[in-house]
Copies of this chain bind each other. A is one copy, B any other.
Amino acid sequence: MAIATGIVGAAGFAGIELTRLALRHPDLELSVVTSNELAGTPVSAEYPGFLGATDLVFASHDDPALDECDLVFLAVPHTAALAMAPRFVERGAVVVDLSADFRLKDPGVYERWYATPHTQTDLLARAAFGLPELFGDDLARAAEDRRAGCGALVGCAGCYPTATSLAAAPAVRAGIVAKGAPVVVDAISGVTGAGKKATSRTHFCFADENLEAYGVATHRHTPEIEQILGLEGRLVFTPHLAPLNRGLLSTVNLPLAPDAPADAAEVVELYRSFYDDAPFVRVLDAGFMPKTSSVVGTNYAHVGVAVNEPARMLVAVCAIDNLAKGAAGQAVQCANRVWGLPEARGLEPIAVPV
């Protein structure tokens, strides 16, 4: 299969990782990558790791070659995708959007957190939520739409919501989490999560040898996680920044329901059964906790669980690569699903060991 593919916003960190993945993917034919800022610059001039691997040159966002694509990835800032997505879907293409524009089901919530009205509520209603392990039905529906020629739109989950939800969902859906109690999520991300823009936050000398919390009680992934897990008003989410490039670890503290099991091994079984059909989620044996280095460069999520018995708290930890399973890898996984390809097609099987 040769799926004509375009990437809008290919010069940012998620976009360029997507470019790499698309070039390696046996079924994608990447014909256009865009960046308004770098239009006219060869990809390999900006990212020399592509030297010899591609002659693609960044085009501008309005490049007509995008109109020939069957698959368009949008890796643009939120609100920009709102304006772009309809054009492609309407002519029957599949859009996989990595921005936040089609994640929040309630337009009012979107407006509250992103300070702009949602202008594409019809499309939003149709959008599949791009987190295949938890919203497989959405993607099945999108696959049908594609086959029917009506176009489809996938709004991929954010990086923190992906890791957090993969850690929490089996427990939440099994009903072993106490109702009403707050769920505390403390997550840590590498600096690629802060994006390509050179700022004092992303300056090596301020990020190196430093740890900090940010966006405390105000991070925009909060409503997304609440939506996925049904935790409205109960989520206490604090992201942290640590000095590494890629990697995201989410530590999720789930208060156990009165009758829930307090044995880690039993919880591991529950989780494994939940993820039985999910090729990208590995649940570790009780007593083990995931390392981000084990998944970097791949689309895998590693999940470990432990139980604090006196406090009746399930601590579930998930490690992902924020640019892979947290962004570009997941987008490819979603595209594979929409085209009925093997879910892992084109995605790296093993992380670099050191």
In the complex the two chains form, is B311's CB within 8 Å of A251's CB? no
In the complex formed, the residue of B with least CB distance to A323 is B354
Q: Does A291 contact B (CB under 8 A)?
A: yes
Q: Mark A184-205, 1 if CB is under 8 A from B, else 0.
A: 1010101110001011101111
Q: Does A174 contact B (CB under 8 A)?
A: no
Residues of A19-72 contacting chain B, CB below 8 A:
19-20, 23-24, 47-54
Report Cα–Cα, A163/B13, bound state, in Å: 29
Q: Does A335 contact B (CB under 8 A)?
A: no
Could you say which residues of chain B place their CB within 8 Å of the CB of A353? Answer: 13, 16-17, 19-20, 47, 49-50
What distance in Å separates the Cβ of A290 from its nearest Cβ neighbour in chain B? 7
Known: A307-B217, A349-B53. A242 touches B184 (CB 8 A): no
Known: A209-B246, A354-B245. A48 touches B188 (CB 8 A): no
Residues of A266-311 contacting chain B, CB below 8 A:
279, 282, 284, 289-298, 300, 302, 304, 306-311
Q: Does A206 contact B (CB under 8 A)?
A: yes
Known: A216-B289, A240-B251. A350 touches B282 (CB 8 A): no
In the complex the two chains form, is A289's CB within 8 Å of B204's CB? no
In the complex the two chains form, is A210's CB within 8 Å of B307's CB? no
Known: A282-B51, A353-B50. A203 touches B204 (CB 8 A): yes
Known: A188-B240, A202-B205, A317-B216. A211 touches B249 (CB 8 A): yes
Known: A49-B351, A242-B244. A251 touches B186 (CB 8 A): yes
Q: Does A5 contact B (CB under 8 A)?
A: no
Report Cα–Cα, A272/B94, bound state, in Å: 42
Known: A17-B353, A50-B350, A302-B51. A292 touches B212 (CB 8 A): yes
In the complex the two chains form, is A211's CB within 8 Å of B188's CB? yes
In the complex the two chains form, is A289's CB within 8 Å of B210's CB? no
Known: A211-B292, A242-B211. A306 touches B51 (CB 8 A): no
Instruction: Please indicate which of the listed interface residues A298, A311, A353 has the most CB atoms of chain B within 10 Å of its own CB.
Output: A353
What distance in Å separates the Cβ of A65 from its nearest Cβ neighbour in chain B? 21
In the complex the two chains form, is A354's CB within 8 Å of B198's CB? no
In the complex the two chains form, is B291's CB within 8 Å of A212's CB? yes
What are 28 A-to-B residue pairs whose CB atoms are below 8 Å?
Answer: A16-B353, A20-B352, A47-B353, A48-B294, A49-B350, A50-B353, A184-B184, A188-B188, A190-B209, A192-B205, A198-B202, A202-B205, A205-B245, A206-B293, A208-B208, A208-B245, A209-B245, A209-B246, A209-B296, A210-B291, A211-B248, A212-B292, A214-B289, A216-B306, A217-B308, A233-B311, A234-B311, A236-B311
Residues in chain A within 8 A of chain B (CB atoms): 13, 16-17, 19-20, 23-24, 47-54, 181-182, 184, 186, 188, 190-192, 196, 198-200, 202-214, 216-218, 233-236, 238, 240, 242-249, 251, 253, 255, 279, 282, 284, 289-298, 300, 302, 304, 306-313, 315, 317, 319, 323, 349-354
